[in-house]
Amino acid sequence: MPTTALLQAHYFNKSRGVFSEDFPGNPLIVFNYTGTPPNNTQTLKGTRLYRLAYNSTVQIVLQGTLYIAPETHPMHLHGFNFFEVGRGFGNFDPKQDPQRFNLVDPVERNTIGVPTGGWTAIRFRADNPGVWFFHCHLEVHTTWGLKMAFVVDNGNGPNESVVLKNTSRLCATKPIVTVNKQFPGPTLYAREGDRVLVKVVNHVKYNLSIHWHGIRQLRSGWADGPAYITQCPIQPGQSYVYNFTLTGQRGTLWWHAHILWLRATVHGAIVILPKLGVPYPFPKPHNEAVIILGEWWKSDVEAVINEALKSGLAPNVSDVHTINGHPGPLTKCSSKSPRQGGFTLQVEAGKTYMLRIINAALNEELFFKVAGHELTVVEVDATYTKPFKTSSVLIAPGQTTNVLLKTDQRSGKYLMAASTFMDSPIAIDNATATAMVHYSGTLGASGVTLTKPPPKNATRVANNFTASLRSLNSKKYPAKVPLKIDHSLFFTVGLGINPCSTCSNRSRVVAAINNVSFVMPTTALLQAHYFNISGVFTTDFPGNPPIKFNYTGTPPKNLQTMIGTRLYRLAYNSTVQLVLQDTGVITPENHPVHLHGFNFFVVGRGSGNFNSNKDSTNFNLVDPVERNTVGVPSGGWTAIRFRADNPGVWFMHCHLEVHTTWGLKMAFVVDNGKGPKESLLPPPSDLPTC
């Protein structure tokens, strides 16, 4: 390993003495790789890279050898996905084996297992300039030197970042907005304590911003991402560098567009590894996989919501759910065009795998399960939990859940399923997304073990899962629940109806918090706060409902909401208790509420109207689950607590995109503290302008 970062040496043309570009494209000594090893088993040493032209195509055959002992090697390529076009045992035959390559629907991955005494062939396009590590994901092998890197030159055109890509699903093709032409987008890997810089270049017609969902952004609110809240959007042809540090966080989070409905396709995972030498608080898994759940519309998604806003009615629901961008092998079009067969997780029997599950769906809570297997929950929203076993995971839009999957069944193929949870009379996408867990050694013609998802209105299943979540609350990972409260807030969340002269029913559906439908400003709130710009927002957001009524009973006669850009002010380091109460105005409904800039503790949850005298006595102040996104149950309430230790302006909203669009959102403004590291940092020089 070098003592200067390879990417810096490459970027600043200081590679001399740091690395060379003479990594061999073929073995220097040809021998019987899976037979008797050569007499000399000594290796060469060096920091040698392999250079690739931008957008060139690459085929790599990874051949296992019998040096010392045969062994499986899970190989991970940074910066790219690749297609596994072939796999076999023994020595690769360059004449015969390529004739059997699967060039129609090979599995797409970033980590691939080279079988013991065998080979794997992959193909990818070098469309990502930079220096990209390629190594065995068995840490001991990486430590011993089983690693190299590719250096990919810049192209001749502009940087490829946010671009349109024609994508086929459900027998139809449409252009979608993507990052680096990937859907879902690339996974960002980092470690706790790392500083992260991401340059986003906008090559599409829409204004754009990227939110790093769940990242605390301590004093770095300029990098949080929601358009018109912490920044003006990145306009077409412009760019912005998001600059933040991963302080005190490790686990699975995600990034997504935070303007319009672009996050339907502009999203990806964030994997924050523990600091070097710090183990997981559970047995280290053999391998892991990112599982992103989503929604897919045949129509252009922006046209769907624009038509709904014009009519004043609810938008059309999605046509299908997806797992890692694909509806799955059980949909009608799974074999009609390339790579529509769905995602496959290749596993070995007798191992433990960690699944990093993300709900990137726009508007629907989902159940996730794997046929024939129990799942052990170990983390939610990048905070460790007390482990518990479950057959079904409930995950709301915006939430992440890490589970351990033990491959303790007989060899075969087992179905993964993602299906809707909705216990209100509301139109939903009923399609179940599917994927496959494929045990190694299973014949291609083998049958699939199916699974039956919970009913869509399985409230008891959902409640049992939610009630099982507890913080780990160990000495190393304590649950620091605020016990003394400075602000006790009560927010109603629900729908309403406002007049609209141009809408089809001369009215439109809206949503509100404490009967205030939030109006998005045209100047970013954080800039207005930092530079004391008047006329952008007020700080009179009500801490309690302006009108009290039977929230989960008969709604009031007047269903109209107030409108305004109203914020709630918090002193630095003050403590907050917030009760989120669903209302039955129009209909009761689940609301996954996300708070930017903070984690919070979910100290209580119940059905019906919150009773401050009785319900607060049952709060869990010992080991409540710590999250950044919480589900407010249909016809019920949720209570959270947090410490306002992050100066800036912080968005809070329902993560059902339709509700956010209708106005179910607000923001907290947290004042600077008095200490040296208790103030918002100045804005970066490239901050976009409105």
* Helix (H/G/I), strand (E/B), else coil: 4: coil
623 with 473: CB under 8 angstroms? yes
pLDDT value of position 297:
97
Residue 628 CA to residue 225 CA, distance in Å, equals: 16
Taking the C-alpha atoms of residue 367 and residue 348, their distance in angstroms, rounded to an integer, is: 25
The CA distance from 665 to 520, in Å, is 9
Evaluate whether 228 touches 536 at the Cβ level (below 8 Å): no
Lookup result for tokens 């076993």 = 389
List, in order, residues 6 or more apart from 640 with CB less than 8 Å away. Answer: 577, 578, 580, 595, 600, 601, 602, 603, 630
- 193, 653 contact by CB (below 8 A): no
Percent helix, percent strand, percent coil in the chain, to nearest 5: 10, 40, 55
Q: Is 300 exposed, middle or buried (0-12, 13-18, 19+ CB in 10 A)?
A: middle
The answer to whether the peptide bond before residue 184 is cis (omega within 30 degrees of 0) is yes
Element (H, E) at 467: helix 459-467
User: What is the distance of C-alpha 382 from the center of its chain?
Assistant: 11
Q: How far is CA 173 from the centre of its chain?
A: 25
Among candidates 205, 210, 232, 217, which has minimal Cα distance to 686?
232
Selected residue with higher pLDDT from 154 and 328:
328
Amino acid (one-letter) located at 230: T
**What does the block give as tokens for 476?**
């190393």
Alpha carbon distance 417, 437 (integer Å):
11
Give mean pLDDT, residues 365-377: 98
Q: Which amino acid is at 309?
A: L
Enter the tokens of residue 539: 């700080």
Place of tokens 């013609």: 445
Please state the separation of Cα 238 from the chain's center in Å. Answer: 25
- Of 81-95, 541-555, 594-608, the range with the highest mean pLDDT is 594-608
Q: What is the pLDDT of residue 333?
A: 62
Residue 673 has a pLDDT of 97
Average pLDDT, the chain: 94
Please tell me the predicted confidence (pLDDT) of residue 337: 44
Mean pLDDT value across residues 419-431? 93
**What 3-state DSSP class applies to 317?**
coil
Residue bearing the bigger pLDDT, 607 or 29? 607
**Minimum mean pLDDT among 174-178, 339-343, 443-447: which range?**
339-343
**Interstrand relation of 591-595 and 73-77 (parallel, antiparallel or unpaired):** unpaired
pLDDT for res 418: 98
DSSP code at position 318: P
This prediction has a pTM of 0.79
Please, how many CA atoms are within 13 Å of residue 521, restricted to the half-sphere of its CB? 26
Cα separation, 318 vs 586, in Å, equals: 22
Please say if the pLDDT value at position 28 is more than 60. yes
At residue 157, does pLDDT exceed 80?
A: no
Query: What confidence score (pLDDT) does residue 41 get?
Result: 72
pLDDT of 256 reads 98
Q: Give the contacts of 185 (CB within 8 A, at least 6 positions apart).
A: 178, 179, 255, 266, 267, 268
Mean pLDDT of 141-146: 94
pLDDT at 335 over 80: no
- Residue range 599-616: mean pLDDT, rounded: 98
Average pLDDT over residues 205-222: 98
- Fill in the DSSP letter of residue 552: T
Average pLDDT over residues 489-517: 96
pLDDT band at 542; cut points 50, 70, 90: very high
* Per-residue pLDDT, 339: 43
pLDDT of residue 528: 98
Task: Give how far Cα 131 sits from Cα of 62, 504, 664, Å.
Answer: 20, 55, 43
How many C-beta atoms lie closer than 10 Å to residue 459's C-beta? 17
Mean pLDDT of 161-187: 91
Residue 336 scores a pLDDT above 80: no
Higher pLDDT, 71 or 629: 629
Tokens at 19, concatenated: 């690395």
Helix ranges (H only) for 93-163 are 139-144
Check residue 338 and give its pLDDT. 42
Residue 92 Cα distances to 28, 72, 114, 648, angstroms: 16, 16, 12, 58
Task: Answer whether residue 493 shows pLDDT above 60.
Answer: yes
Range 439-450 average pLDDT = 88
Q: For 86-141, how does the pLDDT look when each residue is reduced to its tens digit (9 = 90+)? A: 999 999 999 999 999 998 889 999 999 999 989 999 999 998 999 999 999 999 99
Helix (H) or strand (E) holding 664: none
Residue pair 219/677 in contact by the 8 Å Cβ criterion: yes
